[in-house]
Chains A and B, each alone.
Chain A
Amino acid sequence: MGKILFTGGSVIDPVGGRIRRADVLIENGLVKAVGARIKAPDAKKVDCRNRFLAPGFIDLHCHLREPGEEISETIASGAWAAFASGFTQICPMPNTNPAIDSEAMVRFELEAARGVNGARLIPVGCCTKGRQGKELAELGGMSMAGARAVSDDGNWVSDANLMRRVLEYAKTFNLLVMSHCEVPELSLGLADEGFVATRLGLPASPGIAEAIAAMRDIMLAEWTGAPLHICHVSSRETVEVLRWAKARGVAVTAETCPHYFTLTSEALGREYDSNLRVNPPLRSELDRKAIVRALKDGTIDAISTDHAPHTSEEKEREFEAAAPGIIGFETAFSLCYEVLVLKKVLTLPELVARLSTAPAQILGLEPPAIEPGKEANLVLLDTEVRWEFSRERVLSRSFNTPFLGRMMRGKVVAVFLGENYYFDSEFLGEQSEVGKFPKVGFKKTGA
């Protein structure tokens, strides 16, 4: 698409924690220049006054449902929804059907993502064959095919000896082990154990079900010397365990998701809205506050979405029979901005670091940065806009989210990765010369 000049905006450097006024020129998918008053008469111009340019986000944890449940999401639709939400790189979890547990499956995934105008996939394989928790999966082969991490996600590897082998073996191939921590015997998994669950009569799991599992995995990580990443932290006890482990110098990192610092189990009210059923469950205000503090002090390194699309058939059910999970791409930045930046927990560069720099470091990738000579990998953020998250704005194939109808602050209005781009003409308006980009790249069903 030739040359594009972003004029009059502020450029965020999350690594240095700085914001500076600068124009950015990109040409043929590369950053050509960053600086004041760049002259490029032949470039198309994007007006960035009162807007911020930041490196593209990386989602450490999402679900694209292909193969197996293409009715909820496909690699193409999910990669597109992620991209348009600011995530230029994403880690789809391997709990598909069949599971991503072999070299061939990793290749299938990458092949399906080829030519898709969307986020780039960072494959995550299974720890064990079929996520059964019985035998090691072929970690070496998956790593050869391009996997950067392994996880059995929803199935915690409960056999401690097998988990030890997973960590030892993964280390050999520089694969990061990501653990969805949950002691199964303590988790009935529907709601946080507490008064809300008692009042609603829902089977519950306590926050310590997560913390105890995290503690075991951390001890195994320390013992084996393998790096460990804790997925979607939801409980205050897990935060304490992480704080202890990091003070000890264990190579452990962690992520949380916007719903864990935006909502609590009180949101369940008396409605049994299955869109509030997530795994791990929404917890108490004490937990929510602990998560926010942990994001501030870095005990939790990164923010992921746990984007978990489900069809309405899977969600329009009795609360206990409904599938757990909510879609997360489209709302991620706005929820983070509202709860973390507007409430002065994080600065905007700090937020971008949690969404971009930290995930890259966790995966052992070079953190994206807006610098001359590098591939264009950036988002344009408008922090002033107010918008309603309506059904029409859902880019995923599924609509399972409790945030429909919510007024949002701040939006990703443009995304560029190499030659690919997304351009929200509704919010950028006519001030740009980039031209019309199809807002919805994939046909949605059930809309």
Chain B
Amino acid sequence: MSEIYIVASTILAILVLFGIKLMSSPKTAVRGNRLSAISMLVAVILVLGANDIIQLPLLWIAIILGSMIGYALALKVPMIKMPQMVALYNGLGGAASALVALVEILEATSQQNYFVLFTSRLALIIGGITFSGSIIAAAKLDKRISQRPAVLPHHKIISNMMIIVLILLLILSFSLNNSLVVFIILIVALTFGVLFAMRIGGADMPIIISLLNSLSGLAAAICGFTVFEPLLVSVGAIVGASGLILTNNMCVAMNRSLSNVLTGGTTMCASKFSSNSKDEVRMEEKAETETKKSPAEILKRAKKVIIVPGYGMAVSQAQFYVKNLTEVLEKSGTEVKFAIHPVAGRMPGHMNVLLAEADIPYEKLCEMDDINDQFAETDVAIVIGACDVTNPAANTAEGTPIYGMPVLKTGEAKNVIVCNLDTNPGYSGVENSLYTMPNVQLILGNAADTIKELINNLEG
């Protein structure tokens, strides 16, 4: 490694870090992202130049092909599908790291030291797990396979056995210069990734996406150890750290430990806490025969409104009507804020993106900890397609999956209007005790239609 090369690499790594730093404010984030992108482009050219391989057509064909595919995919994807897109990209990055490790192992010259032997196999394993785990996660998010956790008999034992097998094979492959062992390692790693992602339920997706993101960075960094590429090590480590922070945030937000999520002490089936159909009928009647005041009347008198959006809002693409509702309310002098639960949506911060897509200004979006004490002095809270994150049972119902999860104190508002599809429980399978509170009105049905009607009644 020449000194110039090391200096250039250091500068590029710092630029990438600076790009991420700019991403901490919406005002500078676009520039930050572009700075990181340009740094990466320079890094590619630097590496090609430093290794004197810039003139190889094979490399350029691959780069152009990959760029075209990546660009085409990125332009098409709707915002609601962002989590599965990120998971897919993540998996491809992991696959690339695994393939590099595989090439390095198969091409191995005889003078490899233990450091290279070890890191190449580790990159193969982590890259493989990242690839298959991300693909399963993406398929679950895209509803191509069931979102319910799929658990094999003795799932935990099988997974633990696989880790032991991987370690043994890794040690074995040092002394056996045999490509068959390497392929077995890859197959076991891929299978492990599938088993690990399979058992994650829909509600835990934000955690798992963050973790896989971290792993793909780690795989890249370890790859960098194998091919002695300092920039790869540095940037991979940055991504690994970032993913870990987000994973931890998500776990804290759901009051769960990571090991608890990974070993499947998680989402239970709805049947466990199944709803009582009589109750449901009674609640629907209550909603229909509510003659005290219509939701529109309550809203007309409101000075302060907090909207609580959930994934159901995004599914029915109601955020554009929600934006209209906000405008109508503000026209009559009402203050409107949004309460965003950390795990609303399917990945960290997903709900903010969906609301930004509908042109809702970001200073109206409040985090749970900042807004939770404001419900008590709010005239109306409007819940739109959110269930688990508003469920007061999280504070009382011991032994249920959501017990202990911090929730939005929606019920403290003077009036609550719930615009959900039905009164079925959310992912957790726990009945929402908010629905039966005296200050709550239910308007059941597709959120987009419900909000449209609400706007008509307000303006009518």
A and B bind: no
Q: Which chain A residues have a beta carbon within 8 Å of chain B's beta carbons? A: none
